[in-house]
Chain A
Amino acid sequence: MKSIILTQTTKFLTPAFVILSLFITYRGHNLPGGGFIGGLMLSTAFALLAVSDGVEKARHALRVSPEFLIAAGLCIALISGLPALLGDDAFMKSLWLPEFSLPLLGKIHLGTPIVFDIGVFMTVAGFTLKVFFSLCREEEN
């Protein structure tokens, strides 16, 4: 069920979705969004790619395996909790860098909760893609 229109649109849509999902993850701390939504969005992008160009293409475009995404996400989330331990605080207590400004993005806050949210983002995306790819491959067999 290859469609040229779908293939062409996906070519532009996928990168846009990836950037959008990252942005949504980042802005989740102050506005609607966050790791869960970002992760689901990222997987939607690759699901679209898989439907239009086939699973192998989508897997290739992802560059890393979904399992790797899950493992890395869990590790990142775990690591985000560790700095607090150094400062004799409870595990996963949030720590923040001083505020600074960037053009385009405005005031930037960086802290461990953002890192944690990125871990959530990767795990959710990895899980969804894992399920999706597995089902697709079964169907193709």
Chain B
Amino acid sequence: MEAFYAILIGILFAGGIYGILRRSMVRVIVGIILLSQSINLLVFFSGGANRGKPAIMDGETAPSFSTMADPLPQALVLTAIVIGFGLIAFVIVLFQRVFSRLQTDDTQELFKTDS
């Protein structure tokens, strides 16, 4: 199971890398999204995979790893999702500005703006 998800993370990561190496900016954004998703999964599974044991107490039994999933990676991932969303939203606005200004989505043509 762990090995299975490790492979999934690896594939998503590879997809993300391939995406950011494209010249089309839309694909670069897709690459960034895939990268952040694979990393979120990586952090998430660092706490181990637990089914049906959310980190929420019932108020009676004492909390322990046998009854609850590790809350720390979850808190980290929650932050990471929101920050990742912030990044992607910003990149999307940036791309939209560039596109409406230069009418191109090719990163190689961004050289034109330097001069």
Contacts and interface: CB of A to CB of B under 8 A. Distances in A.
Interface of A: 30-32, 36, 124, 127-128, 131, 134-135, 138
B37 interface: no
A31 B92 contact: no
Contact of B82 (A30, A36, A131): A36
Interface in B70-115: 78, 82, 85-86, 89-90, 92-93, 96-97, 100
A135 B86 contact: no
B93 A124 contact: no
Question: Which bucket holds chain B's interface residue count?
Answer: 10 to 19
Given A30-B56, A32-B54, A32-B56, A138 B86 contact: no
A138 B98 CA distance: 12
A138 B89 contact: no
B97 to A, nearest CB: 8
Nearest to B82: A36
A135 B86 CA distance: 14
Interface of B: 54, 56, 78, 82, 85-86, 89-90, 92-93, 96-97, 100
A128 B56 CA distance: 28
Given A134-B93, A135-B93, A127 B56 contact: no
Given A36-B82, A127-B86, A131-B89, 6 more contacts: A32-B56, A131-B90, A131-B93, A135-B93, A135-B96, A138-B97
A31 B56 contact: yes
B81 to A, nearest CB: 8
A135 B97 CA distance: 9
The 3 A-B residue pairs whose C-beta atoms are closest, nearest first, are: A131-B89, A36-B82, A131-B93
Contacts of A128: 85, 89
Contact of A36 (B78, B90, B100): B78
A117 to B, nearest CB: 13
Contacts of A124: 82
A128 B40 CA distance: 20
Contacts of B85: 128
Contacts of A30: 56
A138 B56 contact: no
A131 B91 CA distance: 10
A131 B93 CA distance: 7
A36 B56 CA distance: 17
B115 to A, nearest CB: 26
